[in-house]
Amino acid sequence: MRSLYVHIPYCRSKCRYCGFNSVPAGDNIALESYTRALVAEIRSAGPVKIDSFSDTVYFGGGTPSILPLRQLGEVLAALRELAPLPAGAELTIECNPETLDAGKLAGLRQLGFDRLSLGVQSFDDALLASMGRPHDAARAADSFPQARAAGFANIGLDLIFALPGQTLDGFRRDLDRAISLGPEHLSLYALTYEPYSEFGILDSQGKIERVPEDIEADMYLSAIATMAAAGYEHYEVSNFARPGSRSRHNLNYWHCGDYLGFGAGAHSHLGGRRWANVTDPMEYVKNAEHGESARGFEETLSRGQRLFEAVFLGLRMTEGIDVAAFTARWGAPPWSRSPEEWQRLEREGLVVREPDRVRLSQRGLLLSDGILARLAPASDGRSSP
């Protein structure tokens, strides 16, 4: 599988927890300039083989739905010129509820998007306000049936848990409310305190009271049980889906597929070569206006880096790693570079080795970031898409 990614770095406002490459939109002139730069970058990338990058398209951000329909259409047209999309390709756009109404949703569907990822984060108005989210719970809930009415049969919701002030019962109410809407996909992310986010700065100053680790663990384990009872498959550390509704775009990342990224800060990977664009949207636009490359970084991955990343990403999948397929692709089993650490993880009950697969245990999923850091080769670091 191969994928196209488009990054839209603009939002109505910057959320207090956000560590993504995003900035407040400002005015329509900025959006127009950015769209022109995007189209220019996409057109400069071709031509590619018609069948090379056509399985999935993902507009992420930021808030991609902040762009007017006309501008989204211009970007999609450029992508279709680059690599015509076959029937059945998955086209996803991330949306925030405050940017949607019936007309916008109908327009997105007409443009060809067939999958929505709705950034709800919580159905608790007090928590939404504390995060700096520009929508309330009612707006979030209302956007779901509007999306259904517009023809979207594949909708995912994002929730954050372990928010300051959130209780276990409060998170369970959020989860129950999300499930009651009937989404095909749910992503449940534990809050991380990104160093340069407002929450991260306040945390470093001791001005935020974190949810205790045992309560955070209870939230996660409760979610796993609740989602299973509701008929969702837990297929990746943070992701749950109805049968047949897993995110094909993200599966491509987790299976170490190739992808092309466009926009400020977007990453690309092709055959062991990786590059990334400059992150600042204004610099990105300026480079486009002067006919200069958007790239800010590129590298050729060593065999050790590629093997580790295959382990790193494969272990995020709850089904783990198919040992025979991994060995055939990479020339060595998953534990070839750190056999002693793998053995320790097995003894600690964090990794389960089965006849044909290796995977994290449920306790291992709870501690996945720390486990993967233990497996990272010191010389190669821990880079991933």
At 384, the pLDDT band (50, 70, 90 cuts) reads: very low
Mean pLDDT of 147-156: 98
The pTM (predicted TM-score) of the whole model is 0.94
Residues 98 and 163 occupy one common structural domain: yes
pLDDT at 377: 74
**Long-range contacts of the stretch 197-201 (C-beta < 8 A, 24+):** 197/16, 197/17, 197/18, 197/19, 198/14, 198/16, 198/17, 198/132, 199/16, 199/17, 199/164, 200/17, 200/19
Is residue 47 reached through a cis peptide bond, with omega within 30 degrees of 0 on the bond before it?
yes
Mean pLDDT of 105-124: 98
Residue 260 falls within a domain, yes or no?
no
Residues 81 and 211 occupy one common structural domain: yes
Measure Cα distances from 201 to 13, 97, 193 in Å.
18, 27, 8
pLDDT at 83: 82
Residue 234 falls within a domain, yes or no?
yes
Percent above pLDDT 70 for the chain: 96
For the chain, what is the domain count? 2
CATH number, position 219: 3.20.20.70
Q: 316-342: per-residue pLDDT in tens?
A: 999 999 999 999 999 999 999 889 999
Q: Which domain holds residue 326?
A: 303-375
Residues 162 and 32 occupy one common structural domain: yes
Residue 200 falls within a domain, yes or no?
yes
Taking 70 as the threshold, does the pLDDT of residue 65 lie above it? yes
pLDDT at 49: 55
Residues 233 and 367 occupy one common structural domain: no
pLDDT at 382: 37
Lowest mean pLDDT, pick from 152-156, 221-225, 250-254, 379-383: 379-383
Residues 145 and 215 occupy one common structural domain: yes
pLDDT at 50: 46
Distance CA 186, CA 240 (A): 5
